Amino acid sequence: MSLRLKLLLVSTLLVLASVAAVAWVVTALARRAFERTSEQHTAALVEQFQRDFSGRGDEVVRRVAAIANQESILRMAIDVSRAPADRALYVNEARALAAAHQLDFLDLVAPDGAIISSAGWPARFGYKEDWVVRDANQSGAFLARWELPESPAIALNSVAAVPVGGRSFYVAGGLALDRRFLASLVLPAGMRALLYLRLAPGFVPTDLLSVSGFVDQPEKLAPLIARVEQGPRELRAELAWSSDPTSRETFYALPLTGADHNLLAILLVGSSDRDRVLLERYIRLVSTLVAAGGILLGVLLSWWAASWVSRPVEKLVAGARAVAAGQWETRVELDSGRGELGQMARAFNQMTAQLVEQRDRLIQTERVAAWRELARRLAHELKNPLFPLQITVENLERARDSSPEQFDEVFRESTRTLLAELENLKTILSRFGDFARMPAPIVEPVDVNELVRGVFKLFEAQFRAPGRPAIEARLELDETLAPIEADPALLRRALENLILNSMDAMPAGGALRVATRRKDSAAELIVSDTGQGLTPEERDRLFTPYYTSKQHGTGLGLAIVQSVVSDHGGKISVESEPGRGTTFRIELPARPPAGASFASPGRASERGTRAEGEAARGAGPS
Amino acid sequence: MKPTGLLFLALLSAVPAARLRAAERPRYGGSLRIEAGSSLATLDPAAPLADPRAVALRDHLLLLMADRLVRFNPEGRIGPALALVWTAGPGSRTCVFTLRPNVRFQDGAPLTGAAVADALRLLHPGWRFRAVAAANAAVGESLEIASDEPLPELLAELAAPADSILRRASDGSFVGTGPFRLAEWQPGRLARFVADDDAWAGRPYLDGIEILMGRAPRERLLDLALGQADVVALLPEQVRQAIQQGMRVWSSKPSEFFALEFVHGRPAAEDARLREALALAVDRGALRDVLLEKQGAPAASLLPDWLTGYGFVFPVAADQARARQLAARENPSPPLRLGFDSSDPVAAAIAGRIAVDGQAAGLIVRPVGTDPVDALLVRLGIELPEPRAALLGLARTLGIADQVRLPALASPEELFAAERTLLAGDWVVPLVDLPEICARGPRVKDWMASGVPGADGWRLEDVWLAQESK
pLDDT digits over B98-148, tens only?
Answer: 999 989 999 999 999 999 999 999 899 999 999 988 777 677 789 999 999
d(Cα A104, Cα A121) in Å, to the nearest integer? Answer: 11
Residue of A93, A116, A127 to mutate, interface with B, max B Cβ within 10 Å? A127
B464 Rama class: left (phi>0) / alpha (psi -120 to 50) / beta: beta
Q: Among the residues of A403-506, which ranges form H helices?
A: 404-436, 448-463, 488-505
| Beta strand pairing call for A191-197 and A167-176 | unpaired
Cβ contact A263:A253 at 8 Å: no
Residue B376's contacts (CB-CB under 8 Å, 6 or more residues apart) are B260, B261, B263, B338, B339, B340
d(Cα A116, Cα A80) in Å, to the nearest integer? Answer: 9
Burial A387-411 (b: 16+ CB within 10 A, else e): ebbeebeebbeebeeeeeeebeebe
pLDDT score, position A337: 62
Selecting from B240, B290, B366 the residue whose C-beta is nearest the C-beta of A125 gives B290
Whether residue A133 is predicted with pLDDT greater than 70 in this model: the reply is: yes
d(Cα A469, Cα A603) in Å, to the nearest integer? Answer: 40
Q: CA of B398 to nearest chain A CA: how many angstroms apart?
A: 27
Instruction: Count CB atoms within 10 A of the CB of residue A10.
Output: 12
Q: Using the beta-carbon criterion (under 8 Å), do A122 and B349 form an inter-chain contact?
A: yes
Which whole-number Å values give the CA distances from A402 to A407, A414, A416, B278, B415, in the listed order?
A: 9, 16, 21, 180, 202
Q: Using the beta-carbon criterion (under 8 Å), do A149 and B349 form an inter-chain contact?
A: no
Q: Using the beta-carbon criterion (under 8 Å), do B356 and A124 form an inter-chain contact?
A: yes
Q: Does residue A282 belong to the interface with chain B, where contact is any CB pair within 8 Å?
A: no
List, as one string, the DSSP characters of B412-455.
HHHHHHHHHHHHGGGSEEEEEEE--EEEE-TTEE-------TTT
Instruction: Establish whether the linkage from the previous residue to B372 is cis, with ω within 30° of 0.
Output: yes
pLDDT score, position A605: 44
Q: CA of A125 to nearest chain B CA: how many angstroms apart?
A: 8
Residue of B221, B243, B258, B290 to mutate, interface with A, max A Cβ within 10 Å? B290
Residue B208's contacts (CB-CB under 8 Å, 6 or more residues apart) are B31, B32, B180, B183, B192, B193, B194, B195
Q: Which of A303-307, A533-537, B411-415 has the lowest mean pLDDT?
A: A303-307
What is the pLDDT of chain A when averaged over all its residues? Answer: 82
| Percent of chain B whose pLDDT exceeds 70 | 94
d(Cα A621, Cα A557) in Å, to the nearest integer? Answer: 8
pLDDT score, position B293: 86
Query: SS3 for B152-163, per residue?
Result: CCHHHHHHCHHH
Q: Which residues does chain B have within 8 Å of residue A200's beta carbon, measured at their own beta carbons?
A: none
pLDDT for A409-468, tens place per residue?
A: 888 888 888 888 888 788 777 777 776 667 778 888 999 999 999 998 888 888 888 888
Q: Which residues does chain B have within 8 Å of residue A91's beta carbon, measured at their own beta carbons?
A: 290-291
Selecting from A88, A121, A123 the residue whose C-beta is nearest the C-beta of B293 gives A88
Phi then psi dihedrals of residue A95, to 5 deg: -60, -45
pLDDT score, position A593: 76
Q: Does residue B345 belong to the interface with chain A, where contact is any CB pair within 8 Å?
A: no
In this prediction, residue B5 has a pLDDT band, given cuts at 50, 70 and 90, of: low
Residue of chain A nearest B348, judged by CA positions? A123
d(Cα B186, Cα B256) in Å, to the nearest integer? Answer: 27
Task: Name the A residues in 63-122 with CB < 8 Å from any B CB.
Answer: 86-89, 91-92, 121-122
Q: Which residues does chain B have within 8 Å of residue A122's beta carbon, measured at their own beta carbons?
A: 349, 352
Selecting from B283, B289, B367 the residue whose C-beta is nearest the C-beta of A149 gives B367
d(Cα A238, Cα A269) in Å, to the nearest integer? Answer: 11
Whether residue B406 is predicted with pLDDT greater than 60 in this model: the reply is: yes
d(Cα A117, Cα A98) in Å, to the nearest integer? Answer: 11
Cβ contact B160:B51 at 8 Å: no
Cβ contact B223:B229 at 8 Å: yes
Helix then strand then coil, % of chain B, to nearest 5:
35, 20, 45
Residue A450's contacts (CB-CB under 8 Å, 6 or more residues apart) are none
Q: Which residues does chain A have within 8 Å of residue B294's beta carbon, measured at their own beta carbons?
A: 88
Looking at the DSSP bridge assignments, the partners of residue B444 are B465
Kindly state the average pLDDT of the residues A562-573. 88
| Percent of chain B whose pLDDT exceeds 90 | 67
d(Cα B46, Cα B43) in Å, to the nearest integer? Answer: 9
d(Cα B274, Cα B429) in Å, to the nearest integer? Answer: 12
Dihedral sign, CA of A423, A424, A425, A428? positive
pLDDT score, position A190: 78
Kindly state the average pLDDT of the residues B355-380. 91
Residue of chain A nearest B282, judged by CA positions? A123
d(Cα B55, Cα B53) in Å, to the nearest integer? Answer: 5
Containing H/E element for A142?
Answer: strand A142-146
Q: Does residue A467 belong to the interface with chain B, where contact is any CB pair within 8 Å?
A: no
Angle at B122 between CA B117 and CA B128, to 5 degrees: 50
Selecting from A88, A121, A150 the residue whose C-beta is nearest the C-beta of B290 gives A88
Selecting from B290, B355, B360 the residue whose C-beta is nearest the C-beta of A91 gives B290
Residue of B356, B377, B432 to mutate, interface with A, max A Cβ within 10 Å? B356
Q: Which residues does chain B have within 8 Å of residue A149's beta carbon, measured at their own beta carbons?
A: 352, 355, 367
Mapping DSSP to helix (H, G, I), strand (E, B) and coil, where does residue A176 land?
Answer: strand
Q: Does residue B291 belong to the interface with chain A, where contact is any CB pair within 8 Å?
A: yes
Whether residue A604 is predicted with pLDDT greater than 50 in this model: the reply is: no
d(Cα B219, Cα A560) in Å, to the nearest integer? Answer: 144
Q: CA of A134 to nearest chain B CA: how many angstroms apart?
A: 20
- Which amino acid is present at A198? R
Whether residue A556 is predicted with pLDDT greater than 90 in this model: the reply is: no
In this prediction, residue B316 has a pLDDT band, given cuts at 50, 70 and 90, of: very high
Dihedral sign, CA of A391, A397, A398, A403? positive
Residue of chain A nearest B346, judged by CA positions? A123
Q: Does residue B218 belong to the interface with chain A, where contact is any CB pair within 8 Å?
A: no
Mapping DSSP to helix (H, G, I), strand (E, B) and coil, where does residue A516 land?
Answer: strand
Q: Using the beta-carbon criterion (under 8 Å), do B290 and A149 form an inter-chain contact?
A: no
d(Cα A25, Cα B326) in Å, to the nearest integer? Answer: 71
d(Cα B101, Cα B99) in Å, to the nearest integer? Answer: 6
Residue A428's contacts (CB-CB under 8 Å, 6 or more residues apart) are A381, A382, A385, A554, A613
pLDDT for A370-401, tens place per residue?
A: 777 777 777 777 777 777 788 888 888 888 88
d(Cα B144, Cα A221) in Å, to the nearest integer? Answer: 80
Residue of A87, A124, A128 to mutate, interface with B, max B Cβ within 10 Å? A124
In this prediction, residue A554 has a pLDDT band, given cuts at 50, 70 and 90, of: low
Angle at B131 between CA B129 and CA B137, to 5 degrees: 155
Q: Where are any strands of DSSP class E within A99-141?
A: 105-109, 115-118
pLDDT score, position A617: 34
Looking at the DSSP bridge assignments, the partners of residue B445 are B464
pLDDT score, position B18: 47
Q: Using the beta-carbon criterion (under 8 Å), do A127 and B349 form an inter-chain contact?
A: no
Mapping DSSP to helix (H, G, I), strand (E, B) and coil, where does residue A105 land?
Answer: strand
Q: Does residue B139 belong to the interface with chain A, where contact is any CB pair within 8 Å?
A: no
Cβ contact B249:B437 at 8 Å: yes
Q: Using the beta-carbon criterion (under 8 Å), do A123 and B240 form an inter-chain contact?
A: no
Cβ contact A150:B364 at 8 Å: no
Whether residue B420 is predicted with pLDDT greater than 60 in this model: the reply is: yes
Q: Does residue B360 belong to the interface with chain A, where contact is any CB pair within 8 Å?
A: yes
Q: Which residues does chain B have within 8 Å of residue A89's beta carbon, measured at their own beta carbons?
A: 240
Whether residue A606 is predicted with pLDDT greater than 50 in this model: the reply is: no
Cβ contact B196:B178 at 8 Å: yes
Indicate the angle between helix axes B320-329 and B272-281, nearest 10 degrees.
Answer: 160
Q: Does residue B362 belong to the interface with chain A, where contact is any CB pair within 8 Å?
A: no
B438 Rama class: left (phi>0) / alpha (psi -120 to 50) / beta: beta
Kindly state the average pLDDT of the residues A557-572. 86
Q: Using the beta-carbon criterion (under 8 Å), do A126 and B367 form an inter-chain contact?
A: no
Q: CA of A126 to nearest chain B CA: how many angstroms apart?
A: 8
Name the residue with higher pLDDT: A320 or A101.
Answer: A101
d(Cα B239, Cα B432) in Å, to the nearest integer? Answer: 17
pLDDT score, position B263: 94
Q: Which residues does chain B have within 8 Å of residue A127's beta carbon, measured at their own beta carbons?
A: 356, 360
**Residue B197 Cα to chain centre, angstroms:** 27
List, as one string, the DSSP characters of A356-386.
HHHHHHHHHHHHHHHHHHHHHHHHHHHHHHH
DSSP A441: P
Kindly state the average pLDDT of the residues B90-97. 90
Q: Does residue B109 belong to the interface with chain A, where contact is any CB pair within 8 Å?
A: no
Residue of chain A nearest B351, judged by CA positions? A123
Q: Does residue B243 belong to the interface with chain A, where contact is any CB pair within 8 Å?
A: no
Instruction: Count CB atoms within 10 A of the CB of residue B307.
Output: 24
pLDDT score, position A508: 87
Q: Which residues does chain A have within 8 Å of residue B283's beta carbon, measured at their own beta carbons?
A: 126
Q: Using the beta-carbon criterion (under 8 Å), do A125 and B355 form an inter-chain contact?
A: no
pLDDT for B259-299, tens place per residue?
A: 999 999 998 899 999 999 999 999 999 999 888 988 999 99
d(Cα B458, Cα A337) in Å, to the nearest integer? Answer: 133
